[in-house]
Amino acid sequence: MSAVEFCNVRKHYADLQALKGVSFSVEEGSFFGLLGPNGAGKSTLINAMSGLVVPSSGSIKVMGKDVISDYRETRRSLGLVPQELIADPFFNIRELLKLQSGYFGLKGAKQNAWIDELLERLALTDKADSLTHQLSGGMKRRALIAMSLVHKPQVLVLDEPTAGVDVDLRRTLWEFTRELHKNGHTIILTTHYLEEAEALCDKVAIMQKGQIKALDKTSALLSKHAYRYLKVSVPQSYLQQQAPLPPALQNLLVEDEASALVFKVDKEVALGEILGQLHQAQVPVEDISSRDATLEEVFIDLTADSGEVQQGEGKC
């Protein structure tokens, strides 16, 4: 079953088309990355799924229910960690969590025990009685995550949860999110940290200008990419007095590391051909290794190309 299904979702803000007919689904139990440059439409899509934005047309289902006609059920299935940080002057964290629980009709000893567990897991127990404006940015972020989980939603949506978060907290958040995923939650994540998405997400969609530009398993997106990267190790002495490379090689050079040259090569080009060119240019090759593009490199190539949308799953 799909946890979330987007079917031809469009959203206009006056003349601006923030979403131009988005269709795809997120399988139940997956860790899904929604990626894209600023203004691509990620938050609009997430907010439409959460009922915070009403689509101009199209439909969205969460756990099989329509987010507009069955909004009570879909909101119960969904936990959203929004981008904006909270600063509520009137409530402390524990009160906020109780208030949030009340929206779902949850109270009593069992719910209080779950709130205690959330506070504990997110290292907020010491701060449970602090007002939100007394918290650091990272603590506010953790409080938002706790709020999104008070009703144990099946689908957790995290909108840039690690923006402005230090390395330690980032690691803690990912451990916690991985555990939620292992326990069966479907996770949808937007992030600009593509290394993070590559490590965590089993499937990713890349959005651009309100459309899905690519959608695939993360591993497939990397292996199917048209380019690979060749790292050619050379003596440092060569790099210090390096003669210019012939244009055919120079055009492929993407990086000049301490003792290596890195070339971006079309996968159609045989390795022997590059080796021949290196030999001809009298490059003293010590070692050579090849790797697929990283998600960040795939992302840069795909979003730099303003051509046709290459949507992986368009039907609904």
Ligand X SMILES: Nc1ncnc2c1ncn2[C@@H]1O[C@H](COP(=O)(O)OP(=O)(O)OP(=O)(O)O)[C@@H](O)[C@H]1O
DSSP string, the chain: -EEEEEEEEEEEETTEEEEEEEEEEEETT-EEEEE-STTSSHHHHHHHHTTSS--SEEEEEETTEETTTTHHHHHHHEEEE-SSPP--SS-BHHHHHHHHHHHTT--SHHHHHHHHHHHHHTT-GGGTTSBGGGS-HHHHHHHHHHHHHTT--SEEEEESTTTT--HHHHHHHHHHHHHHHHTT-EEEEE-S-HHHHHHH-SEEEEEETTEEEEEEEHHHHHHTSSEEEEEEE--HHHHHTPPPPPHHHHTTEEEEETTEEEEEEETTS-HHHHHHHHHHTT----EEEEEEPPHHHHHHHHHH--S----S----
Complex with ligand X: residue 195 or 255, whichever CB lies closer: 195
Contact partners, residue 193, CB within 8 Å, separation at least 6: 162
Complex with ligand X: residue 18 or 215, whichever CB lies closer: 18
Query: Where on the chain is the footprint of ligand X (CB under 6 A)?
Result: 13, 16, 18, 36, 38-44
Complex with ligand X: residue 180 or 207, whichever CB lies closer: 207
In the complex, minimum distance from the CB of residue 207 to ligand X, in angstroms, rounded to a whole number: 6
Q: Are strands 57-62 and 65-66 parallel, antiparallel or unpaired?
A: antiparallel
In the complex, minimum distance from the CB of residue 53 to ligand X, in angstroms, rounded to a whole number: 8
In the complex, minimum distance from the CB of residue 42 to ligand X, in angstroms, rounded to a whole number: 4
In the complex, minimum distance from the CB of residue 190 to ligand X, in angstroms, rounded to a whole number: 7
Complex with ligand X: residue 141 or 151, whichever CB lies closer: 141
Complex with ligand X: residue 92 or 211, whichever CB lies closer: 211
In the complex, minimum distance from the CB of residue 17 to ligand X, in angstroms, rounded to a whole number: 9
In the complex, minimum distance from the CB of residue 159 to ligand X, in angstroms, rounded to a whole number: 8
In the complex, minimum distance from the CB of residue 39 to ligand X, in angstroms, rounded to a whole number: 4
Complex with ligand X: residue 97 or 165, whichever CB lies closer: 165
Tokens, residue 86: 């909270």
Complex with ligand X: residue 29 or 39, whichever CB lies closer: 39
Complex with ligand X: residue 13 or 103, whichever CB lies closer: 13
| CA-derived radius of gyration, the chain | 24
The sign of the torsion formed by the CA atoms of 254, 191, 206, 217 equals positive
Complex with ligand X: residue 92 or 190, whichever CB lies closer: 190
In the complex, minimum distance from the CB of residue 199 to ligand X, in angstroms, rounded to a whole number: 20
The dihedrals phi and psi of 111, each to the nearest 5 degrees, come to: -70, -40
In the complex, minimum distance from the CB of residue 45 to ligand X, in angstroms, rounded to a whole number: 7
Question: Amino acid identity of 59?
Answer: S
